[in-house]
Amino acid sequence: MIQKFSKIGSVLLGALLGTAAMCAAAEGSEYSIKGGLINPQGDLRNLTRSSMGYGAELGYDLLPTKDDAVGFGFNVGFLSAKGKVKPFETYTAKASYGGVDMIYAVGQTPLTIRAGLQLISWDVTSLKPVIGTGAQGETSWKFGARVGAEYRIGKQWSAMAMYTFSQWKSDVDANVAVNPSFVSVMVGYKF
C-alpha cells in the first residue's frame, strides 16, 4: 500500500515539474531558490521537542500579469527538525515536499499572498530507538496545505513566511495519527 502511494506521489510531482518546464517561456514567469528556518508547531514540536529547524525550496511561478489577479506557483523542497535528546523518547523529523500554490498579487504592492496544496513525505526517526525498530512510522506521501505571504525586496530578492499543516501516522505508537505543522521563514533569490 505504501509503495502504491509513493508511486502516485512521484507521478504527481513529475507532472508538476513537467508543467513548470513547459511553461518556462511564459510571460511573467520566474524561477526561485529559497532557504531559511522552520519553527515546528503542534504535533511536530511534540515529536521533536525542538523549536527550530531548517528548510530549502525550489520554485517556479507563473506570476499574475495584472494587479489584484491570480497566478500559480510550483515548488519542491525539504525540511529538517532535529530533535533534542531528552529523558523521554524524541524524534528527528525530515520531510520532502512538492505542491502548487495560488498566488494573489495585492494591488501595486510588492506583496503576494500564497495558498496551496502540498504532497509531503515524512521520515521520522527515534533518537532513542527501541531495539529492532529503526525508523518510526510511514514514509508515504500525505496531503498538506499551506498559506502565507511573500514580499518582494528589489527585483531579485524576496522574503516569505508560510504556515504548513500536514498528515503523518506513526505505525509504532499504536497507529496514532499526528498532524505535523510548521512555520517557515525563508529568503529567496529569483531568476
Domain count, the chain: 1
Q: Do residues 133 and 126 lie in contact, with contact meaning Cβ atoms separated by under 8 Å?
A: yes
More confident residue, 91 or 186: 186
More confident residue, 134 or 87: 87
pLDDT of residue 92: 83
Q: Do residues 113 and 104 lie in contact, with contact meaning Cβ atoms separated by under 8 Å?
A: yes
Residues 6 or more apart whose Cβ sits within 8 Å of residue 159: 150, 151, 153, 185, 186, 187, 188
More confident residue, 148 or 68: 148
Which residues span the domain enclosing 70?
Answer: 2-190
More confident residue, 144 or 137: 144
> What's the CATH code of the domain at 74?
2.40.160.20
pLDDT, tens digit, 9 for 90 and up, residues 91-116: 788 899 999 999 998 888 899 999 99
* Mean pLDDT confidence for 76-84: 89
* Mean pLDDT confidence for 11-22: 55
11: left (phi over 0), alpha (psi -120 to 50) or beta: alpha
pLDDT, tens digit, 9 for 90 and up, residues 56-67: 999 999 987 777
Q: What percent of the chain has pLDDT over 90?
A: 44
Place of cell 505542491: 99
Q: How confident is the model at residue 122 (pLDDT cuts 50, 70, 90)?
A: confident
Q: Do residues 78 and 97 lie in contact, with contact meaning Cβ atoms separated by under 8 Å?
A: yes
